[in-house]
Structure 1
Amino acid sequence: MEYQLTSAVLAAHVGAGLIGAFVAFPAAFFARKGSPLHKSAGRAFVLAFVVICLTSYALDFQELTGVDIYRWWADPNMFRLGFDMPIDIKLVQTAAITTFALYLAVSGWRMWARRRRHAAGRSAPLDVVLAMAALFAVGAFVIATWKSADWFSAEGQSVSALSTEHLVILALGLVVAGEAFLDLRSILTRRAPRYWWFVHMRRMLLAEAGLLAAIALRCWPAPDVGLGMALPVAAFVLIGLVMTVRGLRAAYPN
């Protein structure tokens, strides 16, 4: 029972990742913007991200506590088990990365709801919670990475043992921190982004780049994992720049 349920959670995690990266996102990307297909595929992409992130949190929690997922509701004492252990730095990093992804996908999808609320002079608590969670996750990842560097130094290893993967994720984390800061500033000062569509596009592209980087982290052959993660990020940054130029030219043809 325990093995079957854990395997089902893992299968849902992997399946949602593949559907989001290779079905939902391409459908939304190539569909006419604002069309029913674009909207439906976008919702499917965000739903896939929610499944990815929830199952990731579940698997991390199981690894942290040693408590099988099926016991979460079967054992009333479950929450007392395993917490005398120090928290694994790698798990902190993994949970932080998951939060980056959840923030980018959900906040990017919510841009149009935010625009409607802004026009009505209102804001949603969910947007504040998402931005604060993203900033907290970035801080947690930076601290965990710093602790990793301390550990390498204590073991007599070069801090350069922190791999390219860490640098790619840290760069994405800093971008996420900037996005979250802009969200909070916009909400607290009631200043709308100049181009809502640009924020939406940017975050959905970043979410897809992060998802492909995560797939590369698991599947790309060593020792070039960092390169495999950096390639989709660089590619989607370039795509974003091209789409931005095209969008601005369409908005200002003269």
Structure 2
Amino acid sequence: MEHAMLDSILAVVLPIHIVVGAISALVAFPVAAFAVKGSRPHVAAGRCFVAGYVVICLTGLLLEMERTTGGTIRVLWTDFKLVGPKVSDSGHLPPLLFFATATLDLAFLYLAVSGWRVWGRARDAGRGVFRRFDTILAVSAMLVAIAFGVSWWMVVDAVSTMPSAPKSNVVPHLFFTGAALVFLVDAGLDLRVRLTRRPPRAWWFKHARKMVMAQIFLAAGIPFRCADLEHVGFWTTATAFMVLLTGAIAALHFRHRLRIEAARTT
């Protein structure tokens, strides 16, 4: 009965997750990236992207409850299969996986929200105003980063005991440790703005960096939720790399525009 009720709830959550994710990643982000900075389309698309990110993370957590065991969600006339662990592996996934995934969602949600707030923080700091909301957000993000590193380290150890998983867990440990440090340093730099009471330097660059990283998470989330657990690491990393490569090519193409905006901030 409880499982049937959960499937009914997820049948509503899944299309919302897919539609909002598609709008955020394929419409809102490109419009915000290529529109004139500060224009109405740029501001509106940016707000849409951040609002969509909140919805995506919340609905994603609900979907992750089903993914830890596998299952099928029926939406209208279509069955969506959420990839779960193999039967031989099902006893090796710890309940901590859901908590670890929550820290992952929250870490990237922080990048989207704090990236959206960069310009506002620079404007406020220029007037000597440092909002408590941004300080609390940064401190919370640092705690999430620590929880992220610890929980995923434990999940990697658990996954390495799966019969179908590679026995070496050195690379996943290094990857998640590095990611945790990136999140921790990013939030720490945001907190430093309050502690030093100085406007953030090159705020436009920080804004772009945070938003691109958030976009990478959206793209990498597709194989993360759809690929089987044996190959999820490879496809997630490959997708993230392709988005990062695309961003680098776009930055190279618009290098003259970036130099002009950099000169305006100095």
Same fold (TM over 0.5): yes
Establish whether residue 247 from structure 1 lines up as the match of residue 258 from structure 2: yes
Alignment of structure 1 residues 156-235 onto 2, 5 Å:
160-161=168-169, 171-219=178-226, 223=231, 224-235=234-245
Alignment of structure 1 residues 1-254 onto 2, 5 Å:
2=5, 3-59=7-63, 88-151=95-158, 160-161=168-169, 171-219=178-226, 223=231, 224-235=234-245, 238-239=248-249, 242=252, 246-252=257-263
SS in 2 for 1:110: helix
Per the normalisation by structure 1, the TM-score is: 0.76
SS in 2 for 1:203: helix
- Deviation string 1:85-113 (CA, Å, 9 cap, x unpaired) is x9712112210111012101111111122
How far residue 240 of structure 1 moved from its aligned partner, in angstroms, is 7.7
Per the normalisation by structure 2, the TM-score is: 0.73
How far residue 204 of structure 1 moved from its aligned partner, in angstroms, is 0.8
Alpha-carbon distance in structure 1 between the residues aligned to 2:124 and 2:263: 26
Distance 1:240 1:118, change over 3 A: farther
Percent identity, aligned pairs only, is: 37
- Deviation string 1:146-172 (CA, Å, 9 cap, x unpaired) is 2234446777976524776x7656544
Is contact 2:17–2:59 with CA below 8 Å preserved after alignment? Answer: yes
How far residue 251 of structure 1 moved from its aligned partner, in angstroms, is 4.0
Extract unaligned runs of 5+ from structure 1.
Answer: 65-85
Is contact 1:186–1:193 with CA below 8 Å preserved after alignment? Answer: yes
Name whichever of 113-122 and 222-231 sits farther off: 222-231
- Deviation string 1:201-248 (CA, Å, 9 cap, x unpaired) is 111111111111112323458734144333235325625864677423
SS in 1 for 2:168: helix
Is contact 2:219–2:239 with CA below 8 Å preserved after alignment? Answer: yes
Distance 1:94 1:111, change over 3 A: same
